[in-house]
Structure 1
Amino acid sequence: MKRAMSKRIVAHRLIFCSLGVVGMAILFIGSAATQPWFHSASASQSAHHPTTSPPGKSHLPPISPTPQSVQQRLGSFPLTPTVALVKGKNTDPSALRTVTQVLREDGVKQIQKISAQSAQKQSSHAPLTIWIGGPSENAGSAAQLKSLNAEGPTGLPAGGYVLATGRNHGRAEIVLSGVDQTGTFYAAQTLRQLIPARGHSRVLVPVVVIRDWPSMQTRGVIEGFYGAPWSQQNRISQLNFFGENKMNTYVYSPKDDKYLRAKWYQPYPADKLQQIHKLVSVAKQNHVNFVYALSPGLSICYSSSSDLQKLMAKDQELYNLGVRTFALFFDDIRKTFHCQQDQHKFGNDPNPPAAAQAYLINQFYNKFIKTHPGTQLITVPTDYYQAGHTAYRDRFAQLVNPNILVYWTGVGVIAPTITDADAQKTYDIFQHKLLIWDNFPVNDYVPHQLLLGPLVGRDPGLSEHGVVGLTANPMIEAEASKIPLFTVADYAWNPHAYKPEKSWQLSLQRFGGSAYVPLRNFAENSLQSKLSPTSGDTVLKQQISAFWQAYDAGDSIQLQAAAAKLLNRFATLKHTPSELQAKLNNKEFLTEIKPWLDKLTMESEAGEAAVRMVTAQSEGNDQAAWRQRQIFDQYMQKANAIPQVIGSGVIPPFLLKAQSESDTWLQLRTPMTSIHGKHRTVR
């Protein structure tokens, strides 16, 4: 959604492995000091009142998205080589599969799968029993929660769950109880983080009760950018990522898919339908709602029964594949008609474009959605980003069926902030429930930039002002998008507990594993966006500032000290690409970011030469200054040949200023006989 067209988490089990034991302890202590991981609240209470752990308790590993309520109790027990899994008739298959995978990765040798009925008749001989499924899935889980002094999930919102661990008559137990199957699946994802794999180390399960639920009903991603759509492999990887991070929505709407927009009326070829069918299947396994969106506004005749039939026939294909949520989008089009029939029917309406679109939307709702039980409809109005009333908005709101969900980007196509007040005003205008189309971290309008920072500028109370959820529009680079999308998932699940910086750090740790440090160095130089226009490499910023201050003051001692630090930082950045390539086991990500890695190498080399060049000038060492200027020019030429932007707002300004200082110095020393031994003008 743009006005201009210029637009499994990898190694997630390796949490903090690059930091070591001491580093982990420091990080956990630091995190607790700024924002406790533990919250105690009921479903009717705000979830952002922190509580502290009693003395003698070790901190839990970080859990994302941040749970609504965590009660850590005294003690822990080992994850034993033999574990019994107790499932009911309706236990979610994906949750069962996830728990089995987690146990295998944690070194469990024997997994006994038994039914709840069998478990109630006779006790398992396994030293640890895991009960999987809430009241609607596993009849035995309620009694086990009670024995662990934990309240069940009844009454929690959809997707809510209770995860309880402890000992019952000396036997270790874990209960994963969702208010529905999705909740149980989310409990399994939390268990994955609660007992992260530690290689050959003994895994200890903390005694804890986690009572959790999503604050936003709809949380996910809309593939809605201009440019090359994601590949099938990208989308499957993303859907698995969404499930792991408790996102429940994927909107299929790449702008450059001709079957969605330019050729919306054409049926899909068989191979394309097969690909979509696979995506719908993977989405279902991850408890993700696959939303199919058509954008017919470039050519449709709104009042044509024939065009309506084409729309319904197209969506019937998708319904047959298992899609149950559909969308009709009218963003980024002109408010003009494509047939004389529309002019005759709507020309005298107070706002003809709004009336025409509302007519088509309502016709589709009445003749397709209402005749296909279990389906729902979303739309995007043409005025999707403006502030306040417009004649189009007012008429659209008046005419469109109130059961239809309306997309809104916030104020502006790319909204720096989305406030509770703006949401309430927009809801009051449309009088329809709002779904936020968040144009972050989308980069189709700046395709030479990566936007790897966290989601910022979104108020925590949006769901209290007519907003049912948020879907983020990602970058063209699918794997790179996972870094900021992790923070989107964190925000949407529990906005009141969301801390952008902490969420971002955890995203880098999960994504990077042993490559966390070089990944952070790279990501810190890919932060600047319309949401965070001044973000950048803070360490580098400070060192550059200190360098120029010493240079301007003519303080040679301070300049040498500042230059040494700056050279060290540029050397670190120069080696970041090779470190990432050596340590990060994500070939797709490395392929995506290769041009930016190359640019970082060239600019870092130029940065080193710039520091030495300016320092030599300050010392009056003309020969060294000229030698470094030549090196500087060589690397700048290579850097400028790469269109990608890295270190925006930090590295390029430093290089330009250094070049300007050198140009001034050269002009003062032309002809440069003292450097070259003969008369020569340098340009």
Structure 2
Amino acid sequence: MAKRKALKAVISACLVTGFLVPLNAPVTGNAKASGPSEIIVSPIPKSLEQTDKGFPLNPKVGLVTEKGTDPAAVAELKQLLQKAGVTSIVESDIKNPKLQEPVIIWLGEFSEQDELKTIRQQTGIENLEVTKKEGYIVASKHGTKNKKHIVISGHDEAGTFYGTQTFEQIIVDRKGTHWIPEVEIKDWPTMPIRGSIEGFYGAPWSHEDRLSQISFYGEHKMNSYIYAPKDDPYHREKWKVPYPEEKIQELAELVQTAQENHVIFTFAISPGNTITYSSKSDLDALIQKAEAMWDVGVRSFALYLDDIDPSLRSPEDRAMFGGDPNPPAAAQAYLLNRFNEEFIKKHKGAERLITVPTDYYQAGTTSYRERFAELVQSDIIVQWTGIGVVAPTITSQDADETHEIFKHDLLIWDNYPVNDFDRNRLFLAPLTGRDSDLTPEHGVIGLTANPMNEAEASKIPLFTVADYTWNPEAYDPADSLKRSLKEFSEVAYEPLKLFVEASYATSLNNNREPIAERVKPLIEQFWMAEEAKDNQAVSTAGKALLQEFSKMRQAVKELRDQVGNEKFLIEVAGYLNKLELYGQAGETAVDMVLARQSGDTAKAAPKRLELQQLRTAIDKTPQKLSIGVVPTFLERAINGKNLAEGKKAAASSSEVSWLTLDLAVDGNNNTRWASLYTDDQWISVDLGQVYAIDKVKLYWESAYGKQYKIQVSKDGSQWMDVYTELNSNGETDEIQFPAVEARYVKMQGIKRSSSWGYSLYEFSVYESQNK
């Protein structure tokens, strides 16, 4: 058979926002195959060509390196060879290579012409130059004298290390002897800086979490970790206080682990809440803190000025900067520049200083930004979240405009998948909404993702971040997520995928709910059949619903039984409990309605009691899942039809274009409407005809109405008060009142609970059962 190009991994940019597409991409890692097998590498390389040839990985191999070959790459290669069944490794130097073994591996940078000539003569591989920083070549081929050759060559130490990571993924796991397909891979990263920033509020990661994370970054070609946990007191609140010795030792171990994985460890300090910018003693305290980190191997530093009151508190600062066009910007620039001059530039080998300005997420310019840009030294890197604290999209146009304002290199601080702003949510969907050309040409030198407090769960979306930052031109979120889940737990892939779908909705993907998208049509068919009293149709629709609810319940058991990552299971235990309860409650609700439809009251009554108990357990479980149609389904099964669902709503305002009034009556209690930020705001619903109603339920978001009225009307013009609340505490308000005939129902705000507006997940209205 003639040679064929089985896979060419140079593909067009594809920022797919969905997950509900066929997930049939090849699996990353050691593939299992009996014939020629297409392989895939994560992150997707710039170029991968494979033929239908290959050779077995003999138990005896020769390893040819050069002086100074990256020790981490050598160690990594030896470990994976032993794992693949290699029992003998004969090592030699490129200057005097030993080539007796059946398989020869060439590992190094090999930049000298005589070295390249030797490799070309032995292997027949001509194109061995690697010109891009952190780039590498992995090539396997039958060479001269019946020898099989594998070349892993990097532009630099990091590239060589990444080449070994890629080589591990092309090894095909076969019975007996592992197989090496004939491939030629040429690869390099698009983004110079790729990684994560532990920058969330709440309980910081443990030391073990961080060690595991850094190893994960190395395995996925991420080269940056920024240490900036908001609730580490020595980072922010007590920034002047030296770390205790035991903490210093932990940080030293993190730095060492980062170096072994070619990850730059950045130590960040956030002094903005208490520092006197003009104070020499405060500058000395910063330098002393940084000096202690330098002594344990840190070479990258950041001074953060985000999430602070920019006002100048000290008389000294007001005296020194009060006359500036923008005093806060002048004070901050003075501090940054002094630290840059007095510490960074006086330490050979230090990376460029990184900062976050106080105005880090706004659209457009401000007087602060303009003065900050003018005064801060040009070599200092500015971090930026995109437009918005959690930016739904980050475009190259946004980057161009922001770069034009700051006039400094931009490093994206991507607040995804961070969940510190909603601690009872997990965000497990792939990274989406980021343009494929966020590159230095648009002022962007990289991206660091802010993960969740749950370190192990964060690895699922961080895998996709690694994919995107390495090769955004080829990034496909759905495919990347599939490979992430396969790597995380191949044996539990299906239940893990369902759990991810239940934790999928984010502002990045328009709050999509894959499970709800599947289940909602089934729910609608079920209730239509029930209203029509079509027993056969109800039974058919009920069976389909029972299958979906059974999958939820069974997925939890399978995950607990099959996922070997105990730390992950502990992190997500509450969410698994909720998913299991939803599955059980859904099954019970269907059984109850079917029994009620058939007139079997003896069965329906205990099912109703069981459902009420399950709903109580659900309400007591604070974790939230993105399957909002299930709670409203359970609500209807107990209390009857919500007359407002799907009806036409009106409102005094909407806070933003995506928090529209229809979302308060869509039958999904994870979507919401929000008003503008004044007390005199309202939302109403047109029920379509006059009903006798006696109950309204308000499912509040955290921005709830402290005081409000429920008003009703027959014509939408003349309103009558049926209930007044003067001291709500939010969450769910169930309001019962004497039955009244009405077509229109309104929540009229009197007083908000916060500086935000009024925000409702769902506005439900119920017909009186005592007509």
Answering whether residue 396 of structure 2 is matched by residue 396 of structure 1, we say no
State the 1:455 CA deviation.
0.3
Residue 451 of structure 2 is aligned with which of 474, 480, 493? 474
Question: In percent, how many aligned pairs have the same letter?
Answer: 46
String of CA shifts for 1:158-184, please: whole Å, max 9, x gaps: 110010001102211100000001001
State the 1:201 CA deviation.
4.9
Matches within 5 A, 1:152-551: 152-156=128-132, 158-169=133-144, 170-197=146-173, 200-375=175-350, 376-463=352-439, 464-532=441-509, 533-537=511-515, 538-551=517-530
State the 1:83 CA deviation.
1.5
- Evaluate the alpha carbon distance shift between residue 271 and residue 197 of structure 1 in structure 2; reply closer, same or farther with a 3 A threshold: farther
CA distance in 2, matches of 1:657, 1:111: 68
> Which residue does 2:85 correspond to in 1?
107
Give the SS at the match of 1:597: helix
Give the SS at the match of 1:559: helix
String of CA shifts for 1:474-526, please: whole Å, max 9, x gaps: 00000000000000000000001000011001100100121112111211111
> Which residue does 2:648 correspond to in 1?
none
State the 1:542 CA deviation.
4.6
Higher strand share: 2
Answering whether residue 635 of structure 2 is matched by residue 656 of structure 1, we say yes
| Larger relative contact order (Cα-Cα within 8 Å, sequence gap ≥ 6) | 1
CA distance in 2, matches of 1:39, 1:560: 48
String of CA shifts for 1:185-233, please: whole Å, max 9, x gaps: 00100011111545x4542211111000000000000000000000010
Higher mean displacement: 251-260 or 141-150: 141-150
State the 1:323 CA deviation.
0.9
String of CA shifts for 1:242-268, please: whole Å, max 9, x gaps: 000000000000000010100111111
Give the partner amino acid of 2:221.
K
Residue 539 of structure 2 is aligned with which of 557, 560, 567? 560
Give the SS at the match of 2:514: coil
Residue 54 of structure 2 is aligned with which of 61, 72, 76? 76
> Which residue does 2:575 correspond to in 1?
596
> Which residue does 1:86 correspond to in 2?
64
Give the partner amino acid of 2:304.
F
State the 1:103 CA deviation.
1.3
CA distance in 2, matches of 1:393, 1:656: 50
- Evaluate the alpha carbon distance shift between residue 150 and residue 73 of structure 1 in structure 2; reply closer, same or farther with a 3 A threshold: farther
- Evaluate the alpha carbon distance shift between residue 544 and residue 393 of structure 1 in structure 2; reply closer, same or farther with a 3 A threshold: same
Give the partner amino acid of 2:227.
Y
State the 1:320 CA deviation.
1.1
Give the partner amino acid of 1:486.
F
The normalised TM-score by structure 1 is: 0.86
- Evaluate the alpha carbon distance shift between residue 572 and residue 142 of structure 1 in structure 2; reply closer, same or farther with a 3 A threshold: farther
State the 1:114 CA deviation.
2.5
- Bigger Rg, which one: 2
Give the partner amino acid of 1:481.
S
State the 1:650 CA deviation.
3.8
CA distance in 2, matches of 1:485, 1:554: 49
Higher helix share: 1
CA distance in 2, matches of 1:494, 1:650: 36
CA distance in 1, matches of 2:271, 2:120: 51
> Which residue does 2:552 correspond to in 1?
573
Give the partner amino acid of 1:639.
I
String of CA shifts for 1:102-156, please: whole Å, max 9, x gaps: 112222222222222331xx422x2111111122599746642563334123322
CA distance in 1, matches of 2:266, 2:278: 25
String of CA shifts for 1:43-66, please: whole Å, max 9, x gaps: xxx888xxxxxxxx9552221100
- Evaluate the alpha carbon distance shift between residue 461 and residue 586 of structure 1 in structure 2; reply closer, same or farther with a 3 A threshold: same
Give the partner amino acid of 2:237.
A
- Evaluate the alpha carbon distance shift between residue 337 and residue 138 of structure 1 in structure 2; reply closer, same or farther with a 3 A threshold: farther
State the 1:435 CA deviation.
0.3
Is the Cα–Cα contact under 8 Å of residues 131 and 141 in structure 1 kept in the other structure?
no
- Evaluate the alpha carbon distance shift between residue 63 and residue 142 of structure 1 in structure 2; reply closer, same or farther with a 3 A threshold: farther
Residue 608 of structure 2 is aligned with which of 621, 629, 642? 629
Give the partner amino acid of 2:372.
F
Give the partner amino acid of 1:512.
S
Is the Cα–Cα contact under 8 Å of residues 411 and 446 in structure 2 kept in the other structure?
yes
Is the Cα–Cα contact under 8 Å of residues 80 and 127 in structure 1 kept in the other structure?
yes
Give the SS at the match of 1:174: strand
State the 1:625 CA deviation.
2.8
Give the partner amino acid of 1:514.
V
Give the partner amino acid of 1:39.
A
String of CA shifts for 1:246-295, please: whole Å, max 9, x gaps: 00000000000010100111111111000000000000000000001000
Give the partner amino acid of 1:242.
Y
> Which residue does 1:54 correspond to in 2?
none
> Which residue does 1:607 correspond to in 2?
586
> Which residue does 2:737 correspond to in 1?
none
Matches within 5 A, 1:22-37: none
Is the Cα–Cα contact under 8 Å of residues 173 and 179 in structure 2 kept in the other structure?
no
Q: Which runs of 5+ in 2 are unaligned?
A: 15-34, 644-692, 695-768
Give the partner amino acid of 2:168.
R
String of CA shifts for 1:533-552, please: whole Å, max 9, x gaps: 12332443454344344445
CA distance in 1, matches of 2:332, 2:42: 40
Higher mean displacement: 130-139 or 69-78: 130-139
Answering whether residue 102 of structure 2 is matched by residue 135 of structure 1, we say no
> Which residue does 1:117 correspond to in 2?
95
- Evaluate the alpha carbon distance shift between residue 37 and residue 547 of structure 1 in structure 2; reply closer, same or farther with a 3 A threshold: farther
Is the Cα–Cα contact under 8 Å of residues 139 and 184 in structure 2 kept in the other structure?
yes
CA distance in 1, matches of 2:492, 2:257: 29
- Evaluate the alpha carbon distance shift between residue 607 and residue 315 of structure 1 in structure 2; reply closer, same or farther with a 3 A threshold: same
Is the Cα–Cα contact under 8 Å of residues 150 and 164 in structure 1 kept in the other structure?
no
Higher mean displacement: 293-302 or 77-86: 77-86
In angstroms, what is the RMSD of aligned CA positions? 2.4
CA distance in 1, matches of 2:340, 2:480: 39
State the 1:583 CA deviation.
1.2
Higher mean displacement: 438-447 or 644-653: 644-653
- Evaluate the alpha carbon distance shift between residue 541 and residue 487 of structure 1 in structure 2; reply closer, same or farther with a 3 A threshold: farther
Q: Which runs of 5+ in 1 are unaligned?
A: 1-31, 49-56, 669-680
Give the partner amino acid of 1:185.
F
CA distance in 2, matches of 1:571, 1:552: 24
String of CA shifts for 1:374-420, please: whole Å, max 9, x gaps: 21200000000000011111110111001000000000000000011
- Evaluate the alpha carbon distance shift between residue 337 and residue 187 of structure 1 in structure 2; reply closer, same or farther with a 3 A threshold: same
Is the Cα–Cα contact under 8 Å of residues 603 and 639 in structure 1 kept in the other structure?
yes
State the 1:646 CA deviation.
2.1
Give the partner amino acid of 1:180.
D
CA distance in 1, matches of 2:524, 2:482: 25
- Evaluate the alpha carbon distance shift between residue 196 and residue 524 of structure 1 in structure 2; reply closer, same or farther with a 3 A threshold: farther
CA distance in 2, matches of 1:195, 1:546: 49
Is the Cα–Cα contact under 8 Å of residues 483 and 511 in structure 1 kept in the other structure?
yes
> Which residue does 1:586 correspond to in 2?
565
CA distance in 1, matches of 2:153, 2:295: 32
